[in-house]
């Protein structure tokens, strides 16, 4: 029986991993070894930012080690000679430098010694449970992966251990020929539970708003998520479509953000993406610009303009009840709420009022307004509008 691989959204990753983090603390309290977890997905889809956010929500220290950029010694510590010292029935192994200290305390050298490892710098002084992310795990060398096996499986390495209740997470890229990765054998793969993460356009658009990605370009990805997700296999002529990683799209967007008018300099825009973005996707971007969708009203214009004029303009864009452009309404609604989330501290009373008036109008369908209201309750400054009768009725 073939079981289809399930890919999680960012929210699902936080839900599943959040449970495992809590359960790991319980396992540690029972004297059992916590479970390591892997998160596999294409580069640039937000794996690290999602995990960082989860660690913050769990009030755990987030520690990221990129195994493709550090040496094995930096990860596991440097080997040192340790000597057995005894005082009464107590026996301990100490470094050569510590022998005199323990001798003064009444210990004596038993004549036995072994090799140990000095705790690496990144673990020194850490006492509370860690959220340890081994980033780009399968981009590390084969030697690094083998050295990491003990830490992944036992949360320790010869003479040092992670703080009790810690969780080890591995982020990986797919071993599908598209990435330069080190293939793991079954012995390595059985040391952690693996999960797959997919690109989530809503999560990306919220992140992009916070990071100041050009709004015109955010509109494009919201309108054409298939250029990243690959959900459309062929175009209208039956030609097979490729997809471009969201990271390269974002770099392309940052590159063209200095061009004030895409339409007037469309040739230059197309040249900027010609070497990195699939040709058919650049044609989609060109069509997007020619249809003037890069000129959609911005969140700041919606919140700062006169409410009646803004609602009129929005109605012209989204259409009437008989001919509604739900695709454009969806883009504008997401941009609006994401802007409020990203700039919550700076929202003025007038902007909050404009936001409420837009939601109370018929610009967005009840379904879209309901989805907006589910996010409104997460924004402290917007919460008061949930008590407005019309919006309360839609939300409930």
Beta carbons within 8 Å of 67's beta carbon, 6+ residues apart: 75, 134, 135, 136, 137, 139, 140, 144, 145, 148
Q: Where are the domains of the chain?
A: 7-69+127-197, 79-117, 199-295, 297-396
Residue 80 pairs in a beta bridge with 116
H or E segment at 168? strand 167-172
> Chain-centre distance of CA 231, in angstroms?
21
Whole-number Å distance between alpha carbons of 157 and 78: 11
Give the DSSP H/E element, type plus range, for residue 131: strand 130-135
Beta bridge partners of 134: 65, 170
pLDDT tens, residue by residue, 259-286? 999 999 999 999 999 999 999 999 999 9
DSSP letter (8 states) at residue 62: E
For 376-393, what is each residue's pLDDT tens digit?
Answer: 988 999 989 988 888 887
SS3 (DSSP) at 188: helix
Q: State the sign of the Cα–Cα–Cα–Cα dihedral 357, 361, 363, 368.
A: positive
Nearest-5° Cα angle at 138, 133 to 143? 100
- Mean pLDDT throughout 299-315? 95
Beta pairing, strands 79-87 & 130-135: unpaired
Residues in the chain: 396
Q: Are 328 and 318 in contact (CB under 8 A)?
A: yes
Four-way CATH pick for 7-69+127-197: 2.40.30.170, 1.10.340.70, 3.40.50.300, 3.40.190.10 = 3.40.50.300
Q: How confident is the model at residue 3 (pLDDT cuts 50, 70, 90)?
A: very low
Confidence of residue 155 (pLDDT cuts 50, 70, 90): very high
Would you state the pLDDT for residue 2?
45
């Amino acid at each position: 029986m073939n079981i289809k691989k399930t890919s999680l959204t960012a929210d699902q990753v936080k839900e599943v991993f959040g449970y495992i983090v809590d359960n790991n603390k319980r396992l540690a309290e029972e004297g059992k070894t916590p479970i390591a977890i892997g998160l596999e997905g294409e580069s640039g889809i937000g794996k690290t930012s999602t995990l960082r956010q989860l660690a913050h929500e769990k009030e755990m220290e987030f520690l990221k080690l990129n195994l493709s950029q550090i040496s094995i010694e930096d990860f596991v510590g440097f080997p040192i000679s340790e000597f057995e010292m005894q005082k009464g029935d107590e026996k301990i192994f100490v470094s050569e430098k510590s022998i005199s200290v323990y001798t003064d305390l009444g210990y004596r050298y038993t004549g036995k010694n072994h090799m140990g490892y000095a705790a690496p710098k990144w673990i020194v002084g850490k006492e509370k449970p860690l959220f340890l992310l081994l980033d780009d795990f399968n981009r590390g060398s084969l030697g690094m992966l083998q050295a990491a096996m003990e830490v992944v499986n036992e949360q320790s390495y010869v003479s040092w251990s992670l703080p009790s209740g810690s969780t080890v997470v591995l982020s990986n890229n797919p071993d599908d020929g598209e990435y330069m990765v080190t293939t793991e054998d079954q012995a390595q793969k059985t040391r952690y539970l693996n999960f797959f993460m997919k690109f989530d356009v809503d999560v990306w658009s919220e992140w992009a708003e916070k990071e100041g990605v050009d709004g015109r370009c955010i509109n494009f990805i919201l309108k054409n998520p298939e250029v990243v997700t690959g959900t459309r296999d062929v175009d209208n002529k039956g030609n097979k479509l490729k997809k471009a990683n969201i990271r390269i799209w974002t770099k392309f967007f940052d590159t063209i953000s200095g061009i004030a008018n895409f339409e007037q300099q469309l040739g230059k825009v197309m040249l900027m993406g010609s070497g990195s973005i699939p040709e058919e996707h650049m044609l989609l971007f060109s069509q997007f610009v020619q249809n003037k969708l890069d000129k959609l009203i911005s969140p700041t214009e919606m919140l700062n303009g006169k409410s009646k004029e803004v609602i009129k303009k929005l109605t012209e864009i989204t259409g009437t009840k008989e001919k509604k452009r739900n695709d454009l309404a969806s883009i504008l609604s997401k941009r609006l709420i994401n802007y409020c989330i990203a700039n919550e501290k700076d929202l003025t009373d007038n902007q909050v009022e404009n936001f409420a008036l837009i939601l109370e109008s018929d610009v967005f369908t009840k379904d879209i307004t309901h989805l907006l209201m589910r996010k409104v309750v997460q924004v402290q400054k917007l919460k008061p509008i949930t008590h407005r009768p019309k919006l309360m009725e839609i939300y409930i």
